[in-house]
Chain A
Amino acid sequence: MRPHFNSILIRIVLLQIAAFAIAAAAVGIASHLLLNSASVRFENQSLRVHAISIAEHLKQQTDGSLRLDLPAEQRSYYDNSLGGLTYVVTDDDGHVLLNSPGSGIRVLKNDRSGKPTYFQSPNRRRSYLGLSIPVQAGSQQVWIQVTRNIRRPGLITNDVFLHFLRRVSWFSIPIVLFVFVTDFFVVRRVLHPVVVASQMAQTIDPRRLEVRLPTQNLPREVMPLVETINQGLARVEHGFNVQRDFTADAAHELRTPLSVLRMRLDGLEDRAAAKQLRADVDGMSHIVNQLLEVAELENVVVDGSETADLRRVCSDVVELVAPLALSQEKDIALTGSEKPVRVRGHAPMLFQAVRNLVENAVKYTAKGTTVEVNVGPQGIVRVLDEGPGVSEAERELIFRRFWRRDRAQTGGAGLGLAIVARVTEMHAGSVNIENRPAGGAVFSLDLSHALVG
């Protein structure tokens, strides 16, 4: 239920239904009250007419007693089964002198002021209305009290009210339904630009940072939100570009002086010193390259539609690292699938990941041993070495940036495996480390879930 209230459309319709219900109730109550007071006024008038009519036909006989000679038509009003009218004639002390047949006699204590008095039944159900008027009948002061039972069915006012309600609901229900339906379409039409902006917002991703939400035809109330989002997007795009430019500039500023340094070393007279210095420059270049790779990886976004051939990636890596391995009197081999192994992913980044695994293996393994790169047909690349292996305790640590097993000895910056971890993460893959029974480590880059076909 709850998520439905998040739709502006549904909120508006529900609120309108609530508003209509309240308004309908108010109209009902108000008209009931108005009708009631009108009917009371109407009844009072009618009672007055009846009372006066009784007074006209009241005669004092010669013996002093009172006699009421109502015409037949009038008498029928007081036939209890019809109008619910009753009358009572009392003397000044409230003694009943005359009364309509079969009436439950209700006698109001006479008002000594001598003015006509309207009264109601004392209980809250207001079952009758009455009028008491003083009349001079001959020499005698009497009171005529006329009451009408207003709870009786078939009463005029009740009929009018029910009739009115029935008539009103006949045409008001279709009107209300029509309003709701037009409401639905009107609101939907008004909200259309907002829906368009939302759809546009869904297409935003780091590869399409130039996208802005459309502000055309937007309701003024929504405009500030969309404009703020667009400003935010502009800042993100700017930040992204600054970062990318910084990486490119840093690359240039670091690599060019290193090139100059390296070339000057070639011209040195002292060949032994030059060789040592060249190795230092190469080590430094390696660190610079890795730092830049890390920076670049922060900016790269994997396109979901790209595919890479792991066999080809590994072949390229072995080709690249082979001269280094041979120069250190180590062997390197590519084994496993002879056919392409296609996975969803970014080939250049996977190349960096595998290269770092292989370079690492070459670095830590002894002379005369072989580093094997195995490409499994299921999308798993395994790099097997004959080095010291990786202890359980180190398995988490080695993927951290700048972590090195032995800070004093190895030349690198400890970024290689951090790059591997980052690339793997971007491909939603995993890296596992095992030790081989005969010594050495196996790093497995598992991309099996990204296998194509």
Chain B
Amino acid sequence: MARLLVVEDNEDLAGLLVQGLTRADFVADRVGTMADARDVLSRNQYSAVVLDLGLPDGDALTLLRALRAHDDPTPVLILTARGSVRDRVDGLGAGADDYLIKPFAFEELLARLQALLRRPGEFLGKPLSVGNITFDTVARQAFVDGKPQVLSARETSILEILIRRSGRVVQKGAVEDQLYGLAGDVRSNAVEVCIHRLRRHLAEVGATANIHTIRGVGYLIRETSS
């Protein structure tokens, strides 16, 4: 079970975040100041940190920088009201793994946390899902309505990368990289061919999620709107 640290000075929001994360089967601790955060981080091992930037005792970016200076790899998701692009660049530059601007959809926060936790070498959580498709990242096995699906290695890879970012666009370049990683020659239209087959397969077995082509950019999987 993944243990998270929520660093947020707004009592209401912190309480609601802990509630929501608990409901999503996480264990979440919360602190409201940099000093407390430093204290608990030095004593406990967390799977990820949700970090608000504007804390009463200072700018949490200094905390993040200190963490990274000590080679602490704990994934950090910045959750902040500072929305300007410069702030975002500063945040990622200080070593944050992701950056979410308030107000946010809680599902979005969950999805991003799960993506952070499933990075190679990090905690592997429960299966990913979109619509009635689930994907077991340990066994690398896709299910539709609970039934295991027979897919080629390439199709499985593509489905995994899409489903990790379900609801968001995966750039075509990123999909190609995933296929190159599997060796063998990748023809220029190899990705299209794979996507086409995968799409047909999912339709045939009655999956309630679609793979959309965003022309010129990439692909996106999302639940079929009812």
Contact = CB atoms under 8 A, between A and B. Distances in A.
B214 A322 contact: yes
A322 B81 contact: no
Contacts of A255: 81, 83, 101-103
B83 A262 contact: no
Nearest to B171: A319
- What interface size band does chain B fall in? 20 to 34
B221 to A, nearest CB: 10
A286 to B, nearest CB: 10
B130 interface: no
Main secondary structure of the interface of A (DSSP, over half): helix
B225 A329 contact: yes
A267 B12 CA distance: 13
Given A289-B83, A296-B84, A260 B16 contact: yes
Interface in B2-57: 10, 12-13, 16-17, 19-20, 54
A130 B192 CA distance: 129
B220 A322 contact: yes
Interface in A331-359: 332-335, 348-349, 351-352
A409 interface: no
Contact of B215 (A260, A326, A335): A335
Contact of B169 (A253, A285, A289, A322): A322
Contact of B83 (A292, A319, A327): A292
Given A259-B13, A315-B217, A266 B102 contact: no
- What interface size band does chain A fall in? 35 or more
B214 A318 contact: yes
Contacts of B19: 267
Contacts of A315: 171, 216-217
Interface string A361-381: 000000000000100000000
A252 interface: yes
B82 A248 contact: yes
A52 interface: no
A264 B218 CA distance: 35
Closest 6 interchain pairs by CB? Answer: A334-B216, A348-B85, A333-B215, A258-B103, A255-B81, A255-B102
Interface of A: 248, 251-256, 258-264, 266-267, 281, 285, 289, 292-293, 296, 315, 318-320, 322-323, 326-327, 329, 332-335, 348-349, 351-352, 373
19 contacts: A248-B82, A251-B83, A252-B82, A253-B81, A259-B103, A262-B105, A263-B13, A266-B106, A281-B103, A285-B103, A293-B83, A296-B84, A315-B217, A319-B214, A323-B220, A332-B214, A333-B214, A335-B215, A352-B85
